[in-house]
Amino acid sequence: MSNSKYFSRRNFIKTSALSGSAILISEKLTGKTTDSDKIKLPVPVPLSPDNHSILNPIDLSPARWIWYPMERCLANTVILFRNTIKLSDTPKNAFGYILADSRYKLTINGKHVQWGPAPCDPRWMEADTLDLSGYLSSGENVIACSVLYFGLGDGTSPIGKPGFIFKLDIEMPDGSVFQIVSDDSWQSCLARSWRPGNYKRWFLRSLQEEFDARLYPYGWDLPGFASDNNWFASKIYSTHGDKPSVCNGTPEYLWEISGNKKNCSIRERSVPLMKETIIDGFTLREAAWIYWKRPAEDYFESITPDAFDFEWGRPAVEIGNGEWRIDSRKDWTAAATFECKEQMVGWPNFTIDAPEGTIVEMLVHEAHKPGGPVFLNSHFNSWTRFVCREGENNFETFDFESYRWIQFHIRNYNRPVTLKNIAIRRRMFPWKHTPEIYTNDKILQRVIDASVNTLYNCAHDTIVDGMARERQQYSGDGSHQLHAIYYSFGDTLLPARFVNTFGQGLGTDGVFMDSWPAFDRLARVMERQMQLTGWGPIVDHSVGFCFDSWYYFLYTGKTDALKETYPRLLRFFQFLQESLGEDGLIPVEDLGMPSVWIDHLAYKKQRHKQCALNLYVAAMCQQALSKLCSEFGNNDWSKEVLDFGIQLEKSCVVKYWDSEKKVFVCNLPWAEEEKEIRYCDRSLATSIIYNQCPNGNNENALKIIAECPKDLGLSYPCNAIWRYWALAKGKAIQVVIDDFRKRWGSMDSVIENNTLQEMWEVTHDSGHQWSHCAFSPLIMIYHGILGILPVKPGFGKCTISPQPGDLEELSMCAHTVKGTIQFEMTGKKFDRIITISIPDGMDCEMVLDHREKVDLTNGVEKVGNGQTAYKLPTGKKVKLYLKYL
């Protein structure tokens, strides 16, 4: 399935627009692996947008980018846009697009429609689709949109310029069609209910929300609203409808950026809108009276020490089902803390009946220990302030949160107030399938359930490490969750969006921003220039992204999402070539702008990471990138990448292979100086998985990662998957299962939040992430215990090598692009029954002990000694009675 027609030699050029600006590909190689006069292979040109089937460029003309008329837009400004239309009948259809920088909330006649957009590169923004067919009716209708401009950058919004664009095609029952587009006929209002120019919540969270209901123009989004002199005709800030907001003339003064119209475009959203569900069931857990010795504002803005005294008490009394009365006490304020059954991601909302001017600080937290700190203000300033108008107020945050605990600090009231309808409007990806995994092992089941719930929290418009802290899309450790997404949900749209959007973050030095689209590494580039941080774009995450791209092709058999990314992978490969040191290896220190991470728990010194990094790069070149090059018809590139990987592996052996111990030692060059031997799970696991140990000597590496001696550095949970992959390959699955029971099953987050935590040890009431993308248990259910592996792209062929260990009952579904594999296993070791169903059209072979007596035809796959591959029939259930499993 070659794409050479897109990347023929005659289409190569020496300059390639890879990351928004032309990057010069020099005539001669500067890397140390080639002669100085060797001509560098030209990088293929990215395909024109017309060929990106998942990223269709769209022109929203005659719609134009509009904004409130102003000459300066402060950070965290909210603008309200409204347009009134009169319809003679209820429309038959109403489809269109909407896009805003940075966030929008759309309502029709006061009814909530949707929130957006998805995080995206500012040069290639993705417009959300609209279906307003069920919202518009005959008579007067109001299309209303609240738009928040971050300005200062956010974990999910790297940079931008303010703007709003809207296009709707309406088809009436009589067949007539007309358009509603954003232009100067829309009214706009600067919403002072949110103070323009308010400070950031935290480095990676832009909006520290303060909402004053007394200043909000209630009813503005309903028919019949009479606008006053606070409303102006919106101003048009673009001459185009096909370019993103960074190409506008909007008065952005914080960055003074300007988009290159030749490279920038608006594209159609490539994943569906998120599903939103209201969930209640919050329980009051504790309450206290607070006496402020200093103004409360001082504390919330600056966390001033010794700002208050408190008394545990009963200021909150339940007076009905889900309704609480908060009593008043002179000179004291009330704090009531509620918990939910599990951690979720969504918009907190509640109703409070209170006097005008009552102030509510709503705080959220992932993990709280009752009896601990009286304020839940220890998680990156995760609080929102609401100021009440007289009577009943219905509040909801503008941006979503990730939490299990919610606290209401209520002050400035002189009569009892009533708090009710505490809920979360949970947001989740509209998955095609619901994970189906069951085992009678209660601890393992609990870990599996926590993994699935964590995936609900991490995988939305983008896949992130944890929604409560950063919300950034990472490759490397963060993208492991893609494996679980493929199998658990049978989804390929989100992985496709990942390999495209993450690939857009290629820097001019050839290294991908390790979190993109996101603000973090963009800011770190500036800090790195001034030597104010140790963090630069992480090289090993770029290596991981090459693997991600290969896995996408392996799982789906498609290259559509890779057509824009592929040339960027080659530019990164050139960076690797140019980075070689005199030892023939890529250094892990003094790389300039980029940095090397690998892991932060497994190593005592930075230089100890070189072995793991270079084995990782060698494996990527040989097992991923070289194969992608062949798929795209670039055999010359394939050979160069393959040869580079082989040579890198040889150099690793020379420097780090201990011929006596028959294992890679990550501090071998300095062992005498350091007076100890150090191993790392990452390098040992990589050497096992990709057969990098000389002469196949894997035994000692497998023994070390199974027994975990003191001289072995163990990675943090997200990177634990490498060790588990290696153990599964070495037929040591029982070590993995035991680890899941003991290490993962006892995690505080698993027990309390039904989630997976970031670190092996976490504490309550801290900045630790309790819902983090460490999905090893879920991945290993498929890769290790079921042992499913695509052999040919798009599951043209796969193998299944089950390793149930001591599990006695397991049933599960593994979703693939060829259909769903259904697997059931019962019985104890050496007396098991497996029932399996393979979908029609799938070529699948099961690997079993050669002594098994099964009524199956022998397969053709080469397997290890003592095993035989058997061809599984398709379209029906097969029951196997196994004595050696």
Q: DSSP string covering 11-58, please?
A: G--SEEE-SSSEEE--SB--STTS-TTPBPPPPPPPPPGGG-TTS-B-
Confidence band (pLDDT; 50, 70, 90) for 182? very high
* pLDDT at position 865: 80
- Identify the band that residue 50 occupies on the pLDDT scale cut at 50, 70 and 90: low
To the nearest 10 degrees (0 to 180), the angle between helices 539-556 and 610-620 is 30
pLDDT tens sequence across 272-312:
999 999 999 999 999 999 999 999 999 999 999 999 999 99
Write down the pLDDT at residue 521: 86
With 80 as the cut, is the pLDDT of residue 734 above it?
yes
Report the distance separating Cα 58 and Cα 215, nearest Å. Answer: 38
pLDDT, one tens digit per residue, over 529-564 is 999 999 999 999 999 999 999 999 999 999 999 999
pLDDT at 837: 97
Confidence of residue 47 (pLDDT cuts 50, 70, 90): low
Dihedral, 722, 727, 729, 731 alpha carbons, nearest 10: -170
Which single residue is written with the structure tokens 């709003």?
164
Over 60: is that where the pLDDT of 646 sits?
A: yes
Residue 29: predicted pLDDT:
28
Confidence of residue 17 (pLDDT cuts 50, 70, 90): very low
Mean per-residue pLDDT, 767-793: 97
Instruction: State the residue for tokens 């001459």.
Output: 239
Written in H, E and C, the secondary structure of 148-205 is: EECCCCECCECCCCCEEEEEEEEECCCCCEEEEECCCCCEEEECCCECCCCCCCECCE
pLDDT (0 to 100) of residue 145? 98
Cα 571 vs. chain centroid, distance in angstroms? Answer: 24
pLDDT of residue 26: 27
Backbone φ and ψ for 542, nearest 5 degrees, come out as -65, -40
Residue 8 pLDDT: 34
Q: Is the pLDDT of residue 22 over 70?
A: no
What confidence tens digit (pLDDT) does each residue in 328-374 have? 999 999 999 999 999 999 999 999 999 999 999 999 999 999 999 99
Q: What percent of the chain has pLDDT over 90?
A: 90
Residue 774 has what pLDDT? 96
| Residue 803 pLDDT > 50 | yes
Largest CA distance in the chain: 87
Using the predicted structure, report yes or no on whether residue 2 has a pLDDT greater than 50.
no
* Secondary-structure percent of the chain, ordered helix, strand, coil, rounded to 5: 25, 30, 45
Question: Given this model, what pLDDT does residue 55 score?
Answer: 76
The pLDDT of residue 470: 87
Instruction: Give the residue-averaged pLDDT of 590-610.
Output: 96
pLDDT tens profile 99-145:
999 999 999 999 999 999 999 999 999 999 999 999 999 999 999 99
- Alpha-carbon distance of 151 to 252, in angstroms, equals 8
Prior bond to 62 cis, omega within 30? yes
pLDDT score of 14 more than 50: no
Interval 155-165: pLDDT, tens: 999 999 999 99
- Report which DSSP code applies to 388: P
The pLDDT, as a whole number, for residue 359 is 98
Kindly tell me if the per-residue pLDDT of 11 is higher than 60: no
Question: What's residue 43's pLDDT?
Answer: 80
Query: In this structure, what token pair is assigned to residue 372?
Result: 């601990």
How long, in residues, is the chain? 885
- The arithmetic mean of pLDDT across residues 507-516, rounded, is 94
The C-alpha atoms of residue 858 and residue 870 are separated, in whole angstroms, by: 4
**pLDDT (average), residues 219-238:** 97
Answer yes or no: are the C-beta atoms of 392 and 351 closer than 8 Å.
yes
Q: What is the structure's pLDDT at 56?
A: 81
pLDDT tens-place string over residues 580-597: 999 999 999 999 999 999
- Whether the bond into 117 is cis, omega within 30 of 0: yes
State the chain's mean pLDDT as an integer.
Answer: 93
Residue 21's pLDDT is what?
A: 33
Question: Checking DSSP bridges between strand 323-326 and strand 417-428, what pairing results, if any?
Answer: antiparallel
Phi, psi of 186 (to 5 degrees): -80, 140
Of 252 and 481, the one with more pLDDT: 481
The per-residue pLDDT for 30 is 33
